[in-house]
Amino acid sequence: MTARGTQWILHVDMDQFLASVELQRHPELVGLPVIVGGSGDPTEPRKVVTCASYEARQYGVHAGMPLRTAARRCPDATFLPSDSAAYDAASEQVMGLLRDLGHPVEVWGWDEAYIGAHVADLGAACALAERIQQVVTAETGMSCSVGISDNKQRAKVATGFGKPAGIHALTDDTWMSTMGDRRVDALWGVGPKTTKKLAAMGILTVSDLAATDAAVLIGTFGPTTGLWILLLAKGGGDTTVSAQPWVPRSRSHVVTFPRDLTDRAEMDAAVVDLAQRTLTEIVEQNRVVTRVAVTVRTNTFYTRTKIRKLPSPTTADDVIVGTALDVLGQFELDRPVRLLGVRLELATSAEPATVVTTGS
């Protein structure tokens, strides 16, 4: 325990990421089997599935499978070509949102990252995970799963229990009860070859491996691998999130309502609350606001964000709240509203930082 709290590591993994990016561009395909790969031609030889939607996975389609095989298993699927530029852009947006939360972020590929957060306790870590999901979904329309633990390997395993769009924590108290009876290949980092060698030694489950004498494992796998897989079985792992300090470019809060809103006064009140909560955090960091964005999601899951630049950077409550309400007024609020969000973009060192101090 430090003055900043205990470090928790959160593993953020985007759900069906490439398929989700495509579904943002093809909303008519939501809920249908979608397969991404190659040029989008399922008859194309020697091309494989890059990503399959959850609906396609129900037919046994998975990444790495030949497109022709996928077409036989799921003939009614829509096949789409891979678009690396689109996935790069979507990944950059997601990782930027994660960094803007103010914690170190270590990116692992397009669709996953580790966040190292010094917070008070597991409850605070779970609250951060919920906020991550809210922000990512509000800003991108995509969902993510979050695993929580005190090291990367255990957090990664935890994420699998949260799929899709869930949150799961694994700690010393819950590790063996959750993982003990599972096969050793349930551990992240234990592959088929190692699993086969362990099986030949009569070591089949995580609890079997955790109870094995270190000298036995060293004799078979060597000191590095032998001690590492023993550590994994006991729930240990790497506790370092290697990322440079990040200066947030924005702060945001979103809320999903327990019932859809149809009354404009209730929408206004929610936006005022979101703007004020976000502004309070910004003032505490001695930053100033340059742009105000409002996100609206209707009960049909139609999501859109509108943004307005302020005349000059400010932390004035009346200016920022008033602007947020004005931006909300730009939407045609003719359908019940499921979610509202407010994002305040911040001045950088390159921007003039003249602060307007009028208002409350």
Q: What is the largest CA-CA distance in the chain?
A: 74
Token pair for residue 353? 């930082």
Q: How far is CA 10 from CA 86, 127, 153, 169, 219, in A?
A: 26, 11, 10, 9, 34
Rounded distance between C-alpha atoms, residue 19 and residue 105, angstroms: 24
Rounded distance between C-alpha atoms, residue 32 and residue 19, angstroms: 11
Token pair for residue 291? 């742009």
Catalytic sites, residue numbers:
112
CB 8 within 8 A of CB 148: yes
What lies within 8 Å, CB to CB, of 345 at 6+ separation is 249, 250, 289, 290, 291, 292, 293, 307
CB 138 within 8 A of CB 295: yes
Q: What is the identity of the amino acid at 212? A: T
Q: Which helix (H) or strand (E) holds 296?
A: strand 289-298
Instruction: Please provide residue 338's backbone torsions phi and psi, each rounded to the nearest 5 degrees.
Output: -95, -35
DSSP label at residue 298: E
Which residue has tokens 């362990």? 198
Rounded distance between C-alpha atoms, residue 160 and residue 146, angstroms: 9
Token pair for residue 341? 């969000």
Other Cβ atoms within 10 Å of 25 Cβ, number = 10
Name residue 282's beta-bridge partners: none
Token pair for residue 6? 């205990």
Rounded distance between C-alpha atoms, residue 260 and residue 267, angstroms: 10
Q: What is the identity of the amino acid at 302? A: Y
Which residue has tokens 């949150």? 167
Whether the bond between 248 and the residue before it is cis, its omega within 30 degrees of 0, is: no
